[in-house]
Structure 1
Amino acid sequence: MSGERAARATERRLESQRRTAAEEVDRILAITLGLIERSAPAMPSVSEIVAAAGISNQTLYRTFGNKDELILAVLERGVLRVADTTRGRMAEVDDPSEQILAWVRAVLRQVSVVDAAETSRSVLGYLHQTGAVEGANQAELLAPISALLLEPVAALGGDAVDAACISDLVLGAMRRHLWTKTVPTRAEVDHVGAFVLRGLGAGSAR
């Protein structure tokens, strides 16, 4: 039987290993994203990724399973960063209507930065080709962004279904611009925001 001190020592050792593993995963993801940004619209090969990261194919596959899982992890990391940025923009205002407008602007802004949009097209195009992102899986990946609507929509008397409808509408517009390589105008963004608020009975955008 192990004693209490031995158990604590084991936990410290495991925690150190988890921290090291997390740092290595972060490093591989950052390197992969950098390669994608430089090679877009083409995708970097596994050999390019392992060479840049200074690891073996075995290490890569032991960490992520396969290339699809690695690219999905890159996409998930990007979605979380967009969610964090959007949450910050929404926190700058108190009125729920303005928070929803901030959400709309932040989401549509993702296709307004040309280089970022090209990177997103490369990642999503690859994942669509491999079948790694389909249907409900897309909604699950974007859930951290969509979930930000729940609170302000509820404050205006709406519910989760209303929030889902808004998310589908705005994310759909974002995808349309992404695949057609167009950029939403300020007038379009304002119109979408006003349309959403009218649907919630909250009047038009200010």
Structure 2
Amino acid sequence: MSTEPGDTLASRIAARSLAKREANYANEVRRLLDAGRVVMGRSGTTARPRVADIVAEAGLSNEAFYRHFPSKDALVAAILEDGTERLHSYVAHQMSKASTAEARLRRWVEGVLSQADDESAETTRAVMWNAGSMGEEIMSSPPSVAGRLAALVRDTYAELGSADPEFDASLAAHATIGKLSDYLWRQMRPTKSDVDRITAFCLRIRTP
């Protein structure tokens, strides 16, 4: 008697169980990422939160935390990566509203500097401060914020006539993120004039 039907049924049941576990684990990770961001924002730059604070905010256990992250530094790295992806998606959406290369570049500058707005600045500053204590091995794992944002304007620089759009996009990203960091640590919000000047700089750095 063939066992194939039973084996097929067993495989389907196992697949459903694995899918459910994967969904549960993904939910746990999201709750820990969001809780970590909330707790860091609440603590500011005066105290680094404990794992116990984060799992309490998430409504999870230490066991759940260490199932996904070997240390708090690993969680901070994941929060940085998650924030980079969120910012990348937001800036890309803002750029899609522009019809010219110049307008897309300005939208890009505005989107990057939006992290210094009152609503998000405190949390962004707190996450960056916590990241400052992370080891080199952990810091080398998240994707570069500048690299991800530079990729968004590489084609824009090519359209603007740059002979080396990749280099120019990277230079613009590092310069703009540097100014963003300055605004964050000085607890200042960029003005329209600031956005104008940074956009003008990014337009001037095109490689001839």
Q: Answer whether TM exceeds 0.5 for this pair.
A: yes
Local SS of the residue matching 1:110 = helix
Would you say 1:164 and 2:170 are equivalent positions? yes
Within 5 A, what are the aligned runs for 1:45-194? 45-111=50-116, 113-131=117-135, 140-158=144-162, 159-194=165-200
Residues 28 and 64 of structure 2 are in contact (CA less than 8 Å); yes or no, is this contact kept in structure 1? no
Task: Return closer, same or farther for 1:72/1:38 CA change in 2, 3 Å cut-off.
Answer: same
- Aligned pair count reads 201
How many angstroms apart in 2 are the aligned matches of 1:183 and 1:100? 20
What is the alpha-carbon distance in structure 1 between the residues aligned to residue 155 and residue 109 of structure 2?
A: 15
RMSD across aligned C-alpha pairs, in angstroms? 2.6
> Secondary structure at 2:144's aligned position in 1?
helix
Distance change in 2, residues 1:27/1:139 (3 Å): closer
- 1:200 partner letter: R
1:197 is matched with: 203
TM-score by length of 1: 0.84
Q: Distance in 2 between matches of 1:135 and 1:190?
A: 33
Question: How much has 1:68 moved relative to structure 2?
Answer: 0.5
Residues 76, 142 of structure 1: alpha-carbon distance in 2 compared, 3 angstrom cutoff: farther
- Where 1:88 maps in the other structure, the secondary structure is helix
Q: Which amino acid aligns with 1:110?
A: Q
Which residue does the alignment assign to 1:33?
37
CA distance in 1, matches of 2:119, 2:49: 16
Instruction: Mark the structure with the bigger radius of gyration.
Output: 2
User: Under a length normalisation based on structure 2, what TM-score does the superposition of the two structures give?
Assistant: 0.84
Question: Given residue 163 of structure 1, which amino acid in structure 2 is its aligned partner?
Answer: A
SS at match of 2:132: helix
Report the more deviating stretch, 71-80 or 53-62: 53-62
Structure 2 distance, partners of 1:90, 1:176, is: 24
